[in-house]
Amino acid sequence: MPSSADASDNRPRVPLAHPEAFAEPGKLLRAYFNSPAVGLFIVNAHLQYLAVNETLAQMHGIPAEDHIGKTVREILGDFADVIEPQLGRVLSTGEPVHFELSGGPLENLPAGHWRAHYLPIKDDHGVVDRIGAIVNEISGEKRLQESLEDTNRKLSKEVSKLDVLLDVTNLLSENWDLQKVFPQISARIRRVMHQEFAGFALHDPATGFLVRQAMDFPLGKGLMENAPVSPSDSPGGHVLHTRTAKIFSQQEMASFDSPIAKGLVAEGLQSLCCMPLLRPNGPLGVLVLGSTRENAFQPDDLTLLNHVATQFAIALENHRSAKEIEALKQRLSVEQKHLEGEVRGIGVFREIVGVSPVLLQVLEQVAVVAPSDATVLILGETGTGKELIAHAIHRLSLRKDGPFIKVNCAAIPTGLLESELFGHEKGAFTGAVSQKIGRMELADGGTLFLDEVGEIPLDLQPKLLRVLQDQEFERLGGTKTIKAKVRIVAATNRDLARGVAQHEFRTDLFYRLNVFPVRIPALRERPEDIPLLVRHFVRKFALRMNRHIETVPSETIKLLSTWVWPGNVRELENLIERSVILSEGRALHVPLEELRAHALGALPQTSDTLNSAERDHIIRVLRETNGVISGPDGAATRLGLKRTTLQSKMQRLGIQRSDYSK
């Protein structure tokens, strides 16, 4: 029978008569005998009952008259093992003893709690020959005390949990580098969970796997793999799928066939608690705690751990958002720098209108090459604005204060081109009545722009090559070598590489001109610039003709943006000039019937030629990118098109993989 005694409490809890009252048992019995809450008995030195009241008899479950003359052991049996030592102390010391009892006096009675006061009763000679006892039941008080203690323990535990949650929240708010701060978070949780292992993994939407991000396992043996975890056969994957926290036993961990589960078991973990990291947009990952103790985690622990997982998920989401914001800031910074550069270059690029990526890429190339003295070869279809680019190169160069001399090699007769370029001496040929300084010499210290350089005849090309190589030449009919520090900027709409292959253009001259090629995109390659160009030309010609044109119909802009423009910007400029002349009101009137007629096949040969050229260009770019269409280095980016637009063009032009695969 369970029992206990505590003699440490020496304070009587029941009002007692003066100890001398025990010298007269009759008076004592009369004082306490009828008390319904206090049990009273008197025993002699042989521990035989001399008097017992009804309350104590009820406590013992034996009538009061059956106590008289019997010993404590005879009445209480083995329970006397608790009582007799205390009674013996009173007899031997002559001092009162106060203590508490727990248990039951007899097996057929319910266990309870009592507080007992044993007081010595002395005879006339001062010898203790009797012991008076007052006993009151305190079971209710004891239960209340135990309940309060249990409540205090639970409250203390809850306070500890709240402290942990607060610490975790503060750590996550102060540092969004979760991998770095995770060991500190694990240490805070360990204060109440006492786990040996902690880690978290994130779900990779691309692969579907769980990828471990951090682990805190000071006593680990290194038996756990760091490979991505399949969510289909792992504890973490299970809770991620069900979106519900769960506690796993070692047997349940062993039931999974994944390497991570086997590693957990091999490390000696016997309990595992997994919490999904959930946000409204979906599950982010899983937080895992492990212990080498069985049943280390209880269901009521899940409340705290779910709160921690929620804070963790919010921190992860905030971290991702912060990274996205930072990426946007960096992108915005780049764009601002780019725009600032464009604003600073308004004076240089003031005649070049457009914001398309392909055009901006060209302007970036111009800004890069202009400060050098490198020869530039500007390539592009007719009407794309090659001369404007040449002017921009000169304005951005160190020769901007020098002359800019232009020579249209296709507009000067072949017989006169050498004289125009290099000059001639008096009498050099019939009609040469005086010395003439050529364009090359006039451009000394500046820039010489050779437009349509592909039209230079073969016999004149070596002389131009000498200028490019040695910066010297002789006038026609002269013998004096003239030095000229000239920068050559050439332009052509011809395929010079094909001309070299067909022996129409010198190979060495081609390579000397092709030091830094700049390709000007056709207008059809930058349709987003067409509305800007339309507004630019409308203002230009309306101001010149004193017209007041305020609007351009949206249908007009839409049709102009879809036209292929075989004549490029020059064709658009001419059309807008004609449209301004034809416009009588405040809205621009564009003769759309001309474009509609062209679109219906009025110029089939031109359209076929353009389609063929566009097809060849796309195939060439696809070959350069090894067939990669999207991405920063893909063909769509190089062409200044959206991926879907390029794929649509490829389908329309019948471009197959075999056309560009190596």
- Mean pLDDT, range 208-233, rounded to an integer: 83
pLDDT (0 to 100) of residue 595: 65
Q: What is the CA radius of gyration of the chain?
A: 51
Q: Answer yes or no: do 514 and 532 share one domain.
A: no
Report the CATH number that the domain containing residue 312 is assigned in CATH: 3.30.450.40
Residue 358 has pLDDT above 50, yes or no: yes
- Give the residue from 252, 243, 245, 266 showing the smallest Cα distance to 197: 266
Q: Answer yes or no: do 532 and 512 share one domain.
A: no
Q: Answer yes or no: do 165 and 253 share one domain.
A: yes
Three-state SS at 476 = strand
Q: Which residue has the higher pLDDT, 197 or 645?
A: 197
Residue 327 domain-assigned (yes or no): no
Which range has the top average pLDDT, 8-12, 564-568, 627-631? 564-568
Residue 330 has pLDDT above 60, yes or no: yes
Q: State pLDDT tens for residues 559-573.
A: 888 888 888 999 999
Give Cβ neighbours of residue 571 (< 8 Å, ≥ 6 apart). 383, 523, 565
- Give the residue from 378, 367, 361, 364 showing the smallest Cα distance to 633: 361
- Mean pLDDT, range 611-630, rounded to an integer: 81
Residue 138's pLDDT band, with cuts at 50, 70 and 90, is: confident
Query: What's at 177, amino acid-wise?
Result: D
Q: Where are the beta strands (DSSP E) in 392-443?
A: 404-408, 423-424, 436-437
The DSSP secondary-structure symbol of 48 reads: B
Q: Answer yes or no: do 308 and 384 share one domain.
A: no
Residue 410 has pLDDT above 60, yes or no: yes
Q: Answer yes or no: do 165 and 52 share one domain.
A: no
Task: Write down the pTM of the prediction.
Answer: 0.42
Residue 225 domain-assigned (yes or no): yes
Q: Answer yes or no: do 11 and 130 share one domain.
A: yes
Residue 596's pLDDT band, with cuts at 50, 70 and 90, is: low
Domain end among 500, 519, 538: 519
Three-state SS at 491 = strand
Which range has the top average pLDDT, 519-533, 601-615, 619-633? 519-533
Look-up of token digits 């005694």: 5
Residue 334 has pLDDT above 70, yes or no: no
Residue 70 domain-assigned (yes or no): yes
Q: Answer yes or no: do 197 and 297 share one domain.
A: yes
Query: Count of domains in the chain?
Result: 4
Report the CATH number that the domain containing residue 89 is assigned in CATH: 3.30.450.20
Residue 2 has pLDDT above 50, yes or no: no
Q: State pLDDT tens for residues 430-472.
A: 777 788 888 888 888 999 999 999 888 888 889 999 988 888 9
Find the DSSP H helices in 256-407.
259-266, 301-344, 357-369, 386-396
Question: Are 629 and 646 spatial neighbours (Cβ–Cβ below 8 Å)?
Answer: yes
Residue-wise burial string across 166-186, b where 16 or more C-beta atoms lie within 10 A, e elsewhere: ebbbebbeeebebeebbeebb
Question: Are 630 and 643 spatial neighbours (Cβ–Cβ below 8 Å)?
Answer: yes
pLDDT (0 to 100) of residue 193: 84
- Mean pLDDT, range 106-118, rounded to an integer: 69
Residue 32 has pLDDT above 80, yes or no: no
The DSSP secondary-structure symbol of 128 reads: E
Residue 601 has pLDDT above 70, yes or no: no
pLDDT (0 to 100) of residue 33: 65
Residue 250 domain-assigned (yes or no): yes
Residue-wise burial string across 242-253, b where 16 or more C-beta atoms lie within 10 A, e elsewhere: eeebbbbebeeb
Q: Answer yes or no: do 457 and 429 share one domain.
A: yes
Percent of the chain with pLDDT over 90: 23
Provide the residue range defining the domain that includes 59. 3-137
Residue 609's pLDDT band, with cuts at 50, 70 and 90, is: low
pLDDT (0 to 100) of residue 423: 87
Residue 656 domain-assigned (yes or no): yes
Give Cβ neighbours of residue 629 (< 8 Å, ≥ 6 apart). 622, 635, 636, 643, 646, 647
Q: Answer yes or no: do 46 and 28 share one domain.
A: yes
Domain end among 503, 519, 535: 519
Q: In which element (H, E) is residue 293 found?
A: none
Range from 21-30, 216-225, 321-330, 478-487 carrying the lowest mean pLDDT: 21-30
Residue 284 domain-assigned (yes or no): yes
Greatest pairwise CA separation for the chain in angstroms: 170
Range from 111-120, 326-335, 552-561, 564-573 carrying the lowest mean pLDDT: 326-335
Report the CATH number that the domain containing residue 626 is assigned in CATH: 1.10.8.60
Q: State pLDDT tens for residues 153-175.
A: 777 777 777 777 787 778 777 77
Q: Answer yes or no: do 371 and 505 share one domain.
A: yes
- Mean pLDDT, range 7-36, rounded to an integer: 49
Residue 371's pLDDT band, with cuts at 50, 70 and 90, is: very high
Residue 145 domain-assigned (yes or no): no
pLDDT (0 to 100) of residue 1: 38
Instruction: Compute the residue count for the chain.
Output: 662
- Mean pLDDT, range 274-301, rounded to an integer: 90
Residue 110 has pLDDT above 70, yes or no: no
Q: Answer yes or no: do 129 and 38 share one domain.
A: yes
Residue 604 has pLDDT above 60, yes or no: no
Q: In which element (H, E) is residue 283 found?
A: strand 282-291
The DSSP secondary-structure symbol of 211 reads: E
The DSSP secondary-structure symbol of 354 reads: -
Q: Answer yes or no: do 528 and 496 share one domain.
A: no
pLDDT (0 to 100) of residue 123: 83
- Mean pLDDT, range 187-210, rounded to an integer: 87
Percent of the chain with pLDDT over 70: 87
Residue 109 has pLDDT above 60, yes or no: no
Residue 145 has pLDDT above 80, yes or no: no
Give Cβ neighbours of residue 91 (< 8 Å, ≥ 6 apart). 45, 120, 128, 131
pLDDT (0 to 100) of residue 336: 38
CA angle 13, 17, 22 (to 5 degrees): 115
Range from 37-51, 186-200, 411-425 carrying the lowest mean pLDDT: 411-425
Average pLDDT of the chain to the nearest whole number: 81
Q: State pLDDT tens for residues 467-521.
A: 888 889 888 888 888 888 999 999 999 888 888 888 889 999 999 999 999 999 9
Domain end among 492, 519, 546: 519
pLDDT (0 to 100) of residue 53: 86
Residue 330 domain-assigned (yes or no): no
What does 140-207 look like in DSSP terms, one character per residue? HHHHHHHHHHHHHHHHHHHHHHHHHHHHHHHHHHH---HHHHHHHHHHHHHHHH--SEEEEEEE-TTT
